[in-house]
Amino acid sequence: MATVAKTERIKAFSATHDWESADYEPTLPVSEMSNPLTRNIDRAPASSIVKMLQACDAQMFQEKSGAAYERLLSDQVAKSLMEVAKRVQLILKNPQDSLIVLSGCGTSGRLAFFITSGFNRELRRLNHSAVCSYIIAGGDRALFSSQEAPEDDPISGALSLKKVSEGKKRVLFIGISCGLSAPFVAGQLDFCLQHPDVYTPVLVGFNPAHQARNEPIPGCTFTFHSVVTKMRELAKMQKAFLINPVLGPEAISGSSRMKGGSATKILLEVVFSAAHAANFSRTPITYNGILQHLRSYGKVLDITYSQTEGIAAMMEAAGRSLQCGRGLCYLSWGCLGLLGLIDASECKPTFGADYKDIQGFVGGGCKELGNKEGDLNLMGAESGIAHIDFLRNVLPCLTDKDTVLLLYSHSDDVDEVAKLARRVREKTSNMHAVYHQTDGDTAAQQGEINKLCSLTLNFIWPQATPASMGLQHMWELSTKLVLNAVSTGAHILKGKVYQNYMIDLQVTNSKLYCRAARLLQRLSGHPKSLCEEALLKAIYQVDKLTEDIMTCNLTTHTHTARKVKKVVPLALVCLLTGYSIKEAQSHLEQKPIVREAVEACLREQTLFSGSL
- Tell me which residues touch ligand F6P (CB under 6 A): 104-108, 148, 151, 176-179, 181-182, 256-257, 346, 349, 509, 511-512
What gap in Å lies between CA 135 and CA 154, rounded to an integer?
13
* Minimum gap (Å) between residue 506 Cβ and ligand F6P: 8
Q: Would you say 59 or 103 has its CB closer to ligand F6P?
A: 103
Instruction: Judge whether 181 and 212 are in contact, CB under 8 Å.
Output: yes
Report in angstroms the alpha-carbon separations of 608 from 416, 538, 573: 61, 23, 14
For 369-373, the CB contacts below 8 A with 24+ separation are 369/117, 369/143, 369/337, 369/338, 370/117, 370/121, 371/113, 371/117, 371/140, 371/143, 372/134, 372/140, 373/139, 373/140, 373/141
* Minimum gap (Å) between residue 148 Cβ and ligand F6P: 4
For 511-515, the CB contacts below 8 A with 24+ separation are 511/151, 511/179, 511/181, 511/182, 511/213, 512/148, 512/349, 512/558, 513/554, 513/557, 513/558, 513/561, 514/215, 515/32, 515/254
* Minimum gap (Å) between residue 391 Cβ and ligand F6P: 30
Q: Would you say 106 or 327 has its CB closer to ligand F6P?
A: 106
Please report how the helices 287-305 and 471-493 are oriented relative to each other, as an axis angle in degrees rounded to 10.
Answer: 50
Q: Would you say 113 or 435 has its CB closer to ligand F6P?
A: 113
Among the listed residues 579, 603, 611, the one whose alpha carbon sits nearest the alpha carbon of residue 7: 603
* Minimum gap (Å) between residue 323 Cβ and ligand F6P: 23
* Minimum gap (Å) between residue 562 Cβ and ligand F6P: 13
Q: What is the DSSP string of 378-402?
A: -SGGGG--SHHHIIIIIGGG--TTS
Q: Give the H or E element holding residue 142.
A: helix 141-144
Q: Would you say 456 or 500 has its CB closer to ligand F6P?
A: 500
Residue nearest to ligand F6P (CB): 106
Q: Would you say 59 or 508 has its CB closer to ligand F6P?
A: 508
Q: Would you say 509 or 524 has its CB closer to ligand F6P?
A: 509
Q: Would you say 211 or 307 has its CB closer to ligand F6P?
A: 211
Residue 343: half-sphere exposure toward Cβ, Cα within 13 Å: 37
Q: Would you say 261 or 365 has its CB closer to ligand F6P?
A: 261
User: Cβ contacts of residue 222 below 8 Å, gap of 6+?
Assistant: 186, 190
Q: Would you say 31 or 478 has its CB closer to ligand F6P?
A: 31
Question: Which DSSP state fits 35?
Answer: P
Instruction: Judge whether 164 and 133 are in contact, CB under 8 Å.
Output: yes
What gap in Å lies between CA 321 and CA 330, rounded to an integer?
13
* Minimum gap (Å) between residue 265 Cβ and ligand F6P: 12
